[in-house]
Chain A
């Protein structure tokens, strides 16, 4: 019975910590079709990481593209918050034309999105000019 006396405080502390964590977390549970019906056109991406903390907070799960309004490129990135708390992500899409020149579209601005703990969300943009052939997606804290 001595065993119970020594383990009781530890168990109480653990339970308290557990309750605290549950109270603080804003994690999101997600449910979706097991076999997806969608057939996205995925983009093979290249990643240049200069902020490891940021890369450890947000992960780009996938990037896919489509053509809308006849000839405009649409890019969608699926982003995951790797932390258990809600975090704000600042992101920006930039466009590049066929010759590698920056397009400087009016929609190339920093935007913010709030992701709950462990949540996955999509961010997307449409190129406002048919000249846009490539894109760059930038993240910052």
Chain B
């Protein structure tokens, strides 16, 4: 069976078109990665690995200091004070604070109060305390915090013709309310440089 030239050409065109279409097809691919690993997308903002690094460095510093050695009880009661976000980013500061809370609670040296400060579910905890008071007829005795934790996030942006640098500072202080003294302080910074996109002049 002989094919004429026009059929041959049509066949070739069909094959070429299908090859082209296959080449252009973009398949959406999703893979699960370690959220705090090196595969995490790096941007000029604070990414998941940065949060993990900052929290780890701050916890390491606190535990390596002798600040908690003189705690009046074990576990010492900690109230989380304000966390000020002075960056231009819309961020949930719990990305930092929760990691620190988890680590400190696991040490067994710290118990975090939920009835004052930025304790989680502080409203529910207060309501539960009120209910307990109503049912027992006794005034609930709330533990006075031995320490309060204060944090601030700062962003400094520096630019030159080629590079924009964002330096994020994570400042944290542990205060003893009884004395008003700061018993531990730390500042850790992460600097990120982004090459500026080339501009086209007209």
Knowing A105-B106, A112-B49, A130-B107 touch, does A68 contact B64 (C-beta < 8 A)?
A: yes
CB distance from B99 to the nearest CB of A (A): 6
Q: How many residues on B have C-beta within 8 angstroms of the other chain's C-beta atoms?
A: 24
Query: Contacting A109 at CB < 8 Å: which of B56, B63, B69?
Result: B56
Are A128 and B107 closer than 8 Å at their CB atoms?
A: yes
Are A130 and B60 closer than 8 Å at their CB atoms?
A: no
Extra contacts besides A109-B49, A125-B56 (12): CB < 8 Å: A70-B69, A72-B107, A106-B106, A107-B56, A107-B60, A111-B53, A125-B60, A126-B59, A126-B63, A128-B106, A129-B108, A130-B108
Are B108 and A110 closer than 8 Å at their CB atoms?
A: no
0 or 1 for each of B39-52: is its CB under 8 Å from A? (1 = yes): 00000000001001
Does A140 belong to the interface (CB within 8 Å)? Answer: yes
Q: Which of B's residues lie within 8 Å of A, judged by CB?
A: 34, 36-38, 49, 52-53, 55-56, 59-60, 63-64, 66, 68-69, 99, 102-104, 106-109
Q: Would you give 14 A-B contacts (Cβ < 8 Å), ordered by A?
A: A69-B107, A105-B106, A106-B103, A107-B60, A109-B52, A111-B49, A111-B52, A125-B56, A126-B60, A126-B63, A128-B63, A129-B108, A130-B107, A130-B108
Counting contact residues on chain A (CB < 8 A from B), the size range is 20 to 34
Query: Which residues of B lie under 8 Å from residue A69 when comparing CB positions?
Result: 63-64, 66, 68-69, 107, 109
CB distance from B165 to the nearest CB of A (A): 14
Are A129 and B34 closer than 8 Å at their CB atoms?
A: no
Are B34 and A110 closer than 8 Å at their CB atoms?
A: yes
Q: Which of A14-72 contact B (CB under 8 A)?
A: 68-70, 72
